[in-house]
Structure 1
Amino acid sequence: MKIAVAGGTGFLGRSITKALLDAGHDVVVGSRRRPEKAPLDPRAKWVAADVTAPETLSALLAGADAVVDAVQFPNSPIENPKKGYTFERIDLGGTRNLVDAAKAAGTPLFIGLSGVGAAEHAPYHWQRFKWEEEQHIVASGVPYVVFRPSWVYGPGDVSLNRFLSFAKFLPFVPVIGNGKTRINPLYVEDLAAHVVAAVQKPEARGRIFEIGGPEVLTMDDVIRTALRVSGRRRLLLHSPKPVMKLVASVAQLAPGRPLTPDAIDFITMDGVADTSSLREVFGLRLTPLEEGLAAYLKR
């Protein structure tokens, strides 16, 4: 099958692209950056496509049997409105454009990536935008499968690997908040495997699945596991969330916008996925955190 992957050069998109290629599919990757400036599996084809520019999407979708929306804005979840990097413009607006283009092109399947906690009256705007994009997918009439991932980790991520980078030169690892945020961390290759399975699983069509790893852990648990697997022993130094939001309110004014108060909320929110429906329909193994980390930290 020919599968289009929007955002195929990003963290999620790279793993999904590789998994689809390994499964024998033809993959065309759509992104704003040219292949020589972005990581691209040499087996995939590339076309210039930008979900915020609807006129660029027809080339990506031409002849596609399915499209995967793996688009994330740079440095997500740190929004940068001046550059147009926001959940509203990229996640919501971009998904709407891609769904509409898929409908116009007659694409037989749309696979979307939402997020755990998406709801109409969710406490955070990114969760509400994710819910809105889901509603647009459902209402479009295009056959769909939507996944709501928990916290995703793997080689090249900018979350867990950022914690480990601190351990290279500090005697401690800074943790925002009390470290008791609850998540079931999802190995990126497990997400990719489910996307591949969804392509040819009719019983998954028209459904939204939460997806996360097999263990519900606190953020402290996650970081300690990562330190153990990487062979480092460090203290965890917790910074109160209100203090860090104050720091972020100043940091957001710095060049590059390294941190924002909203990003502090994003980092410290619970994200536990209920995987019961996922397991029932897909039946794929979900990787424990220590095993997933060992797959790339010990290479």
Structure 2
Amino acid sequence: MTTVLVTGATGFIGKRLVPALIEDGHDVRAMTRRPESYDGPGTPVGADVGDPNSLRTALDGVDVAIYLVHSLDDPDFERKDADAARNFSAAAQQAGVRQIVYMGGLGADDGHLSAHLRSRREVEGLLAQDGVPVTVLRAAIVVGHGGISWEITRQLVKNLPAMIVPKWVNTRTQPIALDDVTRYLAGVVGKEAAMGRVFEIGGTEQLTYLEMMEVAAELINGRKIPVVPVPVLTPRLSSYWLALVTDVDATTGRNLIDSMSTEVVVTDTSIRDVVPGEPLTYEEAVRRALAERKDSAKK
């Protein structure tokens, strides 16, 4: 039996991943800063990526560690995430961890990455700096109930009768369903063929952000939403606009918007050699996200 530690176990991806790993037969530790309030599956473990001593205890006896930590809501997120990755890499090496699995971000390494995506690349390297093999899964927007990027899309098309949009809505991206992200993360755990490799993961379609909003509007509102493009809408103004019409805070919004002028599409499908299976369409991903939201509202 493989012992797997999931950081961010109460987060958007983590809380779906923990039960999937248990179903696959793994012994799962759910890492959280507040283990006393954890009510999900697995064994709660208290630790903080900012506290190296707590990490050493949490990682003791762990075979595979899944790293789902980032700090987009912090203005100093690049430094904070880099320090956390250094702490985690050192603690994992000392504990004898055999594999770290990390969720990174899509985007070409051509010097034009946003601060958000540059930070994700930096964390990839820092997690590997002490010699533990790292498996990186790079994704664009993850479509699922509660995900920040998806919530921006859902709330915009639900709350606005029409939208004034900046030019970044014509940037191509490759959204992926939360179910597929969970499947890929669970699928690379302990796999020798995945050790020390970077994989790109995405859904079946490459879409612009505008096309994503149009599909979502049809499914949420049953109609198209009028869109008026404007030539200039800076990331700062865009983030204030998002904060006005969604519940996403301006700092997180701006960090995400900075990345939306960068094309993020899959160019390498080798993940399917390690974790076979056809990913879901964007429309199906949206339908599942909306259905989960509806179900959660009943509870």
Asked if Structure 1 and Structure 2 have the same fold, meaning a TM-score greater than 0.5 normalized by the shorter chain, the answer is: yes
- Equivalent position amino acid for 2:285 in 1: G
Instruction: For residue 48 of structure 1, report the CA deviation from its aligned partner.
Output: 2.0
Q: Does 1:67 align with 2:62?
A: no
Whole-Å Cα distance in 2 between the matches of residues 166 and 251 of structure 1? 10
Q: Does 1:245 align with 2:235?
A: yes
Moved more, 170-179 or 62-71: 170-179
What TM-score do the two structures reach when normalised by structure 2?
0.84
What TM-score do the two structures reach when normalised by structure 1?
0.84
Alignment partner, residue 102 of structure 1: 92
Alignment partner, residue 18 of structure 2: 17
Q: RMSD value over aligned CA atoms?
A: 2.8
Instruction: For residue 89 of structure 1, report the CA deviation from its aligned partner.
Output: 1.2
The aligned length equals: 287
* Aligned counterpart for 1:119 among listed residues 85, 104, 109: 109
* Aligned counterpart for 1:229 among listed residues 197, 214, 219: 219
* Aligned counterpart for 2:78 among listed residues 70, 74, 87: 87
**Alpha carbons 2:64, 2:99 under 8 Å: kept:** yes
SS in 2 for 1:297: helix
Whole-Å Cα distance in 2 between the matches of residues 236 and 160 of structure 1? 20
- Equivalent position amino acid for 1:107 in 2: V
**Alpha carbons 1:118, 1:130 under 8 Å: kept:** no
**Alpha carbons 1:178, 1:238 under 8 Å: kept:** no
How much identity, in percent, do the aligned residues show? Answer: 28
Q: Does 1:271 align with 2:264?
A: yes
Moved more, 229-238 or 105-114: 229-238
Alignment partner, residue 297 of structure 2: none
**Alpha carbons 1:167, 1:232 under 8 Å: kept:** no
- Equivalent position amino acid for 2:100 in 1: F
Alignment partner, residue 274 of structure 2: 281
Matches within 5 A, 1:1-299: 1-34=2-35, 36=37, 42-73=40-71, 76=72, 78-81=73-76, 86-90=77-81, 92-117=82-107, 119=109, 121-173=111-163, 175-238=165-228, 240=230, 242-247=232-237, 258-259=250-251, 261-298=254-291
- Equivalent position amino acid for 1:229 in 2: L
Taking a change above 3 Å as real, the CA distance of residues 171 and 88 of structure 1, as seen in their structure-2 partners, is same
> Which string of whole-angstrom CA distances, capped at 9 and with x for unpartnered residues, describes residues 93-123 of structure 1?
2122111110000011111122112638343
Whole-Å Cα distance in 2 between the matches of residues 209 and 22 of structure 1? 24
**Alpha carbons 1:29, 1:60 under 8 Å: kept:** no
Instruction: For residue 274 of structure 1, report the CA deviation from its aligned partner.
Output: 2.1
SS in 1 for 2:210: helix
Stretches of structure 2 that go unaligned for 5 or more consecutive residues are 295-299
Whole-Å Cα distance in 2 between the matches of residues 123 and 169 of structure 1? 30
Instruction: For residue 17 of structure 1, report the CA deviation from its aligned partner.
Output: 1.7
SS in 1 for 2:169: coil
**Alpha carbons 2:140, 2:202 under 8 Å: kept:** yes
**Alpha carbons 2:113, 2:259 under 8 Å: kept:** no
- Equivalent position amino acid for 1:258 in 2: A
Moved more, 41-50 or 170-179: 170-179
SS in 1 for 2:277: coil
**Alpha carbons 2:62, 2:97 under 8 Å: kept:** yes
**Alpha carbons 1:119, 1:130 under 8 Å: kept:** no
Taking a change above 3 Å as real, the CA distance of residues 17 and 270 of structure 1, as seen in their structure-2 partners, is same
Whole-Å Cα distance in 1 between the matches of residues 18 and 150 of structure 2? 22
**Alpha carbons 2:65, 2:97 under 8 Å: kept:** yes
